[in-house]
Amino acid sequence: MRLLACFLSTIFVVSAYKSYDGYQVITSRTVTLRDLSEPRRLENDPEYIFWARPAVGRPLHVMTSQISIGKLWSELEHLNLAPSVYIEDVGPVLAKADEKRQKLMDIPLNRAVSFDRYMTLQEILDYTAEVVQNYPLHSSLLELGTTYEGNPLRAVKVSNGPGKRGIFLDAGTHAREHITHPLALKAIFELVENYDQNKALVDLFDWYILPVANPDGYNYTFNEDRFWRKNRSPNVGSDCVGTDPNRNYDINWGIDGDANPCSEAYRGVAAFSEAESSAIGSALRDIENNGGLALYMSTHCYGTFLIYPWGFTYEFPVTYDELAKAANLTATAIEAVNGTRFVIGSSANVYFPAVGASMDYAYAVGNNNTYSYTWELPAGGEFGFAPLPEDILPIVSETWEGIKALANYVNTQVLK
Ligand SMILES: *[C@@H]1O[C@H](CO)[C@@H](O)[C@H](O)[C@H]1NC(C)=O
Ligand SMILES: *[C@@H]1O[C@H](CO)[C@@H](O)[C@H](O)[C@H]1NC(C)=O
Ligand SMILES: *[C@@H]1O[C@H](CO)[C@@H](O)[C@H](O)[C@H]1NC(C)=O
Ligand SMILES: *[C@@H]1O[C@H](CO)[C@@H](O)[C@H](O)[C@H]1NC(C)=O
Ligand SMILES: [Zn+2]
């Protein structure tokens, strides 16, 4: 079997991917609250690609090229973070994952959903179009906008009658975070195709699910660069492409944030300068103005965190106790499935501070009493942002149990 795998890998080496040969992933000791701010400085260096951002209670995972390993190593030593090698050479690891992906691609999906592999942008667009055609009584498409490359920001709305509060879930704001897209597809599958079993959830809320919040970037991770994070819009006066849509929302934009177009977390030239953030922002305001935005969820990876506002400040939001209570019962529901433990807390305090994020924006749009969350889904290991195909279904299934518990809880609250 092993021999066969080796043999196949020599056939499938032809890849248009950007090479990560010689790139290493460096890890560190566990980060504490006390030293959280120091490693954050390193995030501004475009040479460092953070697989795992600085967060309390876990080590860093930072990828960098051969040329910058020495510099990164000494910076981490200087910060007393005890660097060590996590992945010796990313190149072959990526080649192995890509080979597996190419093989799985041979199985045609025929416009059906799949959790056996990561679906391409075109496959996801085809599936969403098909599913609403098959279930027109309780589902429809909402084209929220169009990206720089002309791809649709296509959400599925699930509704069985007027006058309900809304739940919005988006996936893949960061292009490379591939485990998030199947989570959104799981939500669509359960609410639309598996409607008979989940009708109660649609009786309670209108659901808006955007499975690819950054389609240009997502497509780019399939064809050009597996570790691309931002969107693909060009930047005037710079050769570096892309803005981080999750630093571009019109919420405290400009008080902080990365102004370097070459950075992975570039905030853009102005609040809502990007098609992706501006379209989602507009959809959130519409939902708030038509029945109310009860629950907002943005899905990312990786970390196994469920975090809530604020991201822009260490101060707690007014509904902190409620957000924490709901997060706790969500994490408890997930742990009951198979033992996966999510860390919960306010973004700036347990994860990292960030200005211009969708979670803060949604919370503010809902007058500071929307249940607003960012999910950092489990991933990691040698495949970084995309767990092995066989791990997709376990991860999205347990997370879906958490989302159901959260929606049911939000329904019992009269906050909104
Ligand atoms: C994805 O990218 C490829 C290669 O650049 C391009 O040919 C294709 O049209 C893109 N697909 C979509 C749906 O944008
Ligand atoms: C939820 O609350 C219970 C009771 O206070 C606590 O034991 C548990 O650790 C909390 N879970 C999380 C994920 O914080
Ligand atoms: C929401 O909270 C922020 C930060 O505390 C505050 O500036 C803002 O006025 C609040 N908005 C509302 C509608 O209460
Ligand atoms: C449960 O967790 C174990 C250990 O992480 C894993 O091997 C297994 O596949 C998981 N099973 C399901 C059904 O999620
Ligand atoms: Zn992300």
pLDDT tens, position by position, 346-374: 998 888 788 999 999 999 999 999 999 99
pLDDT of residue 8: 37
Q: Tell me the CA–centroid distance for residue 121 and ligand 1, in Å.
A: 8
pLDDT at 416 over 60: no
pLDDT at 215 over 60: yes
Q: Can 376 be counted among the known catalytic residues?
A: yes
- Ligand 3 atom nearest the C-alpha of 310 is 4
218-243: average pLDDT: 96
Euclidean distance between CA atoms 122 and 115, whole angstroms: 16
Residue owning the nearest CA to atom 2 of ligand 2: 328
pLDDT of residue 113: 97
- Reference 91, options 36, 148, 17; nearest CA is 17
Q: Tell me the CA–centroid distance for residue 187 and ligand 2, in Å.
A: 26
Euclidean distance between CA atoms 395 and 387, whole angstroms: 9
The HSE-up count of residue 297 (CA atoms within 13 Å, CB side) is 32
Q: Tell me the CA–centroid distance for residue 37 and ligand 5, in Å.
A: 19
pLDDT tens, position by position, 25-40: 999 999 888 877 777 7
pLDDT at 333 over 90: yes
Residues 180 and 284 occupy one common structural domain: yes
Q: Tell me the CA–centroid distance for residue 340 and ligand 2, in Å.
A: 13
Distances (CA, A) of 337 to 95, 304, 330, 331, 349: 33, 15, 11, 10, 27
Residue owning the nearest CA to atom 5 of ligand 1: 223
Residues 188 and 263 occupy one common structural domain: yes
Residues 158 and 197 occupy one common structural domain: yes
Confidence of residue 14 (pLDDT cuts 50, 70, 90): very low
Residues 81 and 205 occupy one common structural domain: no
Q: Tell me the CA–centroid distance for residue 232 and ligand 1, in Å.
A: 12
Q: Which ligand is nearest to the CA of 57?
A: 2
Residue 120 in any domain: the answer is yes
* 3-class DSSP state of 319: coil
pLDDT of residue 98: 87
Residue listed under structure tokens 């060009």 = 234
pLDDT of residue 236: 96
pLDDT of residue 1: 34
Residue 158 in any domain: the answer is yes
Q: Which ligand is nearest to the CA of 124?
A: 1
Number of domains in the chain: 2
Asked if 116 and 186 count as a contact pair (C-beta separation under 8 A), the reply is no
Strand partners, 62: 26, 50
Asked if 273 and 243 count as a contact pair (C-beta separation under 8 A), the reply is yes
pLDDT of residue 366: 97
Residues 172 and 230 occupy one common structural domain: yes
pLDDT of residue 10: 38
380-395: average pLDDT: 86
pLDDT tens, position by position, 253-273: 999 889 999 999 999 999 999
pLDDT of residue 160: 97
Residues 135 and 266 occupy one common structural domain: yes
Residue 13 in any domain: the answer is no
Residues 157 and 47 occupy one common structural domain: no
Pairing of strands 293-301, 371-377: parallel
Residues 239 and 377 occupy one common structural domain: yes
Residues 304 and 259 occupy one common structural domain: yes
Residue 103 in any domain: the answer is no
166-184: average pLDDT: 97
Pocket residue to mutate for ligand 4, from 179, 186, 338, most atoms within 8 A of Cβ: 338
Residue 325 in any domain: the answer is yes
Q: What is the pTM of this model?
A: 0.94
* Any ligand 4 atom below 6 A from CB of 336: no
Asked if 201 and 404 count as a contact pair (C-beta separation under 8 A), the reply is yes
Confidence of residue 16 (pLDDT cuts 50, 70, 90): low
Give the binding-site residues of ligand 1, using a 6 Å CB cut-off: 121-122, 149, 151, 219, 223
Catalytic choice (264, 274, 376, 398): 376
Residues 189 and 75 occupy one common structural domain: no
Asked if 123 and 109 count as a contact pair (C-beta separation under 8 A), the reply is yes
Residues 358 and 231 occupy one common structural domain: yes
First to last CA, the chain: 57
Pocket residue to mutate for ligand 2, from 56, 322, 328, 350, most atoms within 8 A of Cβ: 328
Residue owning the nearest CA to atom 12 of ligand 2: 328
Residue 99 in any domain: the answer is no
* 3-class DSSP state of 332: helix
pLDDT at 12 over 80: no
Residue 138 in any domain: the answer is yes
Residues 197 and 307 occupy one common structural domain: yes
Pocket residue to mutate for ligand 1, from 17, 122, 219, most atoms within 8 A of Cβ: 219
pLDDT at 213 over 70: yes
331-352: average pLDDT: 93
CB atoms within 10 A of CB 103: 12
* Any ligand 3 atom below 6 A from CB of 368: yes
Q: Tell me the CA–centroid distance for residue 221 and ligand 5, in Å.
A: 14
pLDDT tens, position by position, 68-125: 999 999 999 999 999 999 999 999 999 888 888 889 998 889 899 999 999 999 999 9
Residue 12 in any domain: the answer is no
* Domain housing 336: 113-414
What is the torsional sign of CA 237, 241, 246, 249? positive
pLDDT at 6 over 80: no
207-212: average pLDDT: 98
CATH number at residue 53: 3.30.70.340
pLDDT at 413 over 60: yes
pLDDT of residue 279: 98
pLDDT of residue 415: 57
CATH number at residue 206: 3.40.630.10
Give the binding-site residues of ligand 2, using a 6 Å CB cut-off: 328, 331, 342, 344
Tabulate helix, strand, coil % of the chain (nearest 5). 40, 15, 45
Output the average pLDDT for the chain: 92
282-293: average pLDDT: 97
Token pair, residue 57, equals 């209670």
